[in-house]
Structure 1
């Protein structure tokens, strides 16, 4: 079982929920989470422990976001293809992916994104605006590049597997 499949289980990404998560609204609003978390914890300076309420709401949004939207009317857009590509990638132990996609680049991009999150965390602790901006930007750079590679993977794989073809509408 791939690590990505384990993570998908934590987020309750069943077949139906994967398609809900492929809604562009799900993808684009998910980009709001990191800045909301940074701002929520940063607000402890002004509102003290009450900052846990917006922080908790932002963290709750992480788990609810993939399942609250309807299935997209079409999956012929970048955001939907990115999510479907992630699903293809997590299935790589079942359906073989092209060698060009069996690369350390994905781990590197996720490491860049994770490093950004760690810098943003440091910035929250030390109230560094530049650290927060750098951390969020780095996290989004790594994640967005990773998602773009997932679009490419999905485009390659949708014609090679009948199940993947069904997702293209």
Structure 2
């Protein structure tokens, strides 16, 4: 099982949920998760232990988002194709992806991961610059990763 499959399993991403997540509204609103989590954890400064409420709400938003929107009428758009490609990438141990698509997604995931470490550091120590820099790396890595997933989907879809 790939790490992506473990994450999908943690979020109970079944076929129906993936189809709903391919709605562009789900893809684009999913980008709100990181800032919501940052503010929720930062709120410990103002709320003390009550910060658990916005943290729980942020985690709930992360889980609800892929389920919130209906299955799209069309998947002929960048956002939907990124999710469809992500499913192909997720199953790469079962159905291998073309060689040219194997390296970049791992590098881009690592970029996002490094960015997330900066975010964690900045939120923990209440320093804005690591949070902003880390967020930029997370979004750069993730959006570029999604763009690669569109390319993977286009290269592997059956016409």
**TM-score, normalized by the shorter chain, greater than 0.5:** yes
CA RMSD of aligned residues (A): 1.3
2:144 matched residue in structure 1? 145
Rounded to whole Å, the distance in 2 between the matches of 1:44 and 1:102 is: 40
Segments of 5+ residues of structure 1 without an aligned counterpart are 160-164
- What's the TM-score once normalised by structure 2's chain length? 0.94
| Contact kept? 1:33, 1:61, Cα under 8 Å | yes
Count of aligned positions: 159
SS of residue matched to 1:141: helix
Partner of 2:49: 49
Structure 2: runs of 5 or more not aligned = none
Q: How does 1:112-123 map to 2 (within 5 A)?
A: 112-123=111-122
Distance 1:65 1:97 in 2: 28
Deviations 1:87-115 (CA, angstroms, capped at 9, x unpaired): 01112223232111122x22111111011
Deviation digits for residues 11-70 of structure 1 (CA, Å, limit 9, x no counterpart): 222111110010111111111111111111112212212211111100111112112211
- 1:11·1:66 contact (CA, 8 Å) conserved in 2? no
* Matched residue SS, 1:76: coil
CA distance in 1, matches of 2:127, 2:143: 24
Q: Tell me the CA shift for residue 5 of structure 1.
A: 2.2
Residue 128 of structure 1, CA deviation: 0.8
User: What's the CA shift string for 1:100-144, capped at 9, x where partnerless?
Assistant: 1122x2211111101111111111111111111111111111111
Q: Does 1:9 align with 2:34?
A: no
The structural deviation recorded for 1:7 is: 2.0
